[in-house]
Structures are given as C-alpha cells and as structure tokens.
Amino acid sequence: MKKLFRKLAILVVTLWANYTYKKVVEMADREHAVKHTMIYVASKNFHPDQLTTYDKWRFKAEKQVFGFHARLLTLQTLKNGCYYHTPDRVGNQAMSEHDKEVRRRFFIDERLRKAKLV
C-alpha cells in the first residue's frame, strides 16, 4: 500500500509541475509577443516554489527592492539559471528543443526533491 501511495504521489507532483511549467512558458511566450524582448521564466525571489516571468527591466527593479542578496545575481546568471527564455527582439539566442526539455525535466525533478519523493 505504501508503494502505491508513493507512486501516486510522484505521478500527481509530476503532472502538477508539468502543468505549472507549461502555463508559465505560455505566459512568457504571450508576453514576448507583446513586448518583443527576451522573457525569462525563473523562481520568484523568496518564493522558490512559484514561477514567474522576468524581462530585463523587471529583473533590475526587483534587484533594487530585495537588496543585497539579489544584487549577487546578474542578468547572465538569470539567463543561465532560468527554466526557459524566449528569443531576443530579432529572434537570436532562442533555446534549442533539447535545452527546453532538459530544463523542464530539471524543474520537475526539483519539485519531486522538494516533496521528498526522490
């Protein structure tokens, strides 16, 4: 019975993480279509369970609000550590399909580790 519950819990967490990830990626793509800038999908400051979208200006504004710890992050660390990013204004620097899949799986694995199921 315990193994069955564990498998069911893993399935539920995986489905929920995948659903959340896809919704935020869709939101980033819609925002990119309006603003025509590079949009990043990353965890919120001080709320690592929640995903949000950042553009360059919003990221800089949040760094000023959250102070010293956020100042350690640069735009390059955001780009390298984000779960997804859109191409820039002219369509360069787009993520490959392989990178998208790797980062999606990494997000799901993080959720499973946080739920202590892996």
14-50 pLDDT tens trace: 999 999 999 999 999 999 999 999 999 998 876 777 8
Structural domain harbouring 92: 23-97
Q: With contact defined as beta carbons under 8 Å apart, do 10 and 112 qualify?
A: yes
Q: With contact defined as beta carbons under 8 Å apart, do 83 and 42 qualify?
A: yes
Q: Give the total number of structural domains in the chain.
A: 1
Report CA torsion sign: 67, 72, 74, 76: negative
Q: Would 17 be classed as within a structural domain?
A: no
> What per-residue confidence (pLDDT) applies to 46?
64
Q: Would 43 be classed as within a structural domain?
A: yes
Q: Would 36 be classed as within a structural domain?
A: yes
